[in-house]
Amino acid sequence: MIPFELTILGAGSALPTIHRSATSQFLHYNGQNMLIDCAEGTQIRLQQLKISAMKLDRIFISHLHGDHYFGLIGLINSMHLNSRIKPLKLFGPPELINIIQLMLQASDTSLNFPINFKPLAGFEKQKIDEDEQLQYFSFPVKHRIPAWGFLIKEKPRRNIDPEFIEKYNPNHQQLQAIQQGEDFIDASNARISNAEIIQLSSDQRAYAFCADTAYHEPIVDYIKGVSLLYHEATFMQDLQVLASKTLHSTTVDAANIANKSRAKQLLIGHFSSRYKDLNPLLAEARSIFSNTQIAVDGLKVVI
């Protein structure tokens, strides 16, 4: 199985505590390294977990509340001081780049490496990037300021029809040509089209990140069938009124989204600092969606 793994760097909410950092996640897929959100102290968390920030290819920032990005400028600064030259792809709300530029200006810093910034926008799910292995999507969620969720999905694998292999016994060179999209010419000079030979897999794994957001029904369609859903659950259901007022979700909201989208696994996080014991939150979510886990700092989840 190709490695696809999420590491929780911080699972707390706006007020960081000694035991729970604010939101930051590290995602690894077969040599591709990403951060989703980057709260204050993220660079130290990475050091503690022996993850090199120099290897990061992409950083996604969901929105500009401080508990989701106040560690970004420090991380960028440290990459610069460590002589990074590899370009960094950065996805975030449009104002993010102005903030970074103002801070770099104030310290008279000209980065050794380029930041390729792509502003998030739009009221629909959008493909914001793609590489050989993965597709990257953003979608709007519902919060007090513009905020986006992310979906990171394997591309369909190109499998060759086993019946074709049995019938024609193609050699290695021919198989490579087929993988690259070419048609096949058989011994009698008849052409078999590539589309007839290739079967696209439909079981691609995907990770969806939804924070910060109120319960927002359109998310269900955006993430349909996702392998792992991280959804914020700031409050328990008894504080539904407070959740609605602050445009956050409850454990029940998160579980309902997981259930309706037919997610395979749910991870809840962004817990209000009022909760010392997280077991009641877990129990409440599991009452609706049994395959739920609690996000705690340092947790690793294989996708």
Bridge partners, 29 (sequence order): 4, 32
Nearer of residues 81 and 195 to a second copy, judged by Cβ: 81
Residue 100 host element (H or E) = helix 95-106
Binding mask 21-50 for a second copy (x = CB under 8 A): -------------------xx-xx--xx--
52 touching a second copy, by CB under 8 A: no
CA separation for the pair 39, 209 (Å, rounded): 15
Identify the CA nearest to 16 among candidates 50, 51, 41, 47: 41
Per CB under 8 A, contacts with a second copy among 96-115 are: 96, 98-99, 102-103, 105-108
Identify the CA nearest to 231 among candidates 202, 204, 260, 203: 260
> Is 67 tagged catalytic?
yes
2 touching a second copy, by CB under 8 A: no
Identify the CA nearest to 68 among candidates 125, 124, 147: 147
> Stretches 62-70, 178-186, 254-262, 263-271: which one binds a second copy (CB under 8 A)?
62-70
SS3 183: coil
302 touching a second copy, by CB under 8 A: no
Element counts in the chain: helices (H) and strands (E): 10, 18
37, 57, 67, 203: the catalytic one is 67
Nearer of residues 41 and 269 to a second copy, judged by Cβ: 41
Q: What is the DSSP letter of 184?
A: E
Nearer of residues 30 and 105 to a second copy, judged by Cβ: 105
Contacting positions for a second copy (CB under 8 A): 14-18, 40-41, 43-44, 47-48, 64-67, 70-71, 73-74, 77-78, 81-82, 93, 95-96, 98-99, 102-103, 105-108, 144-145
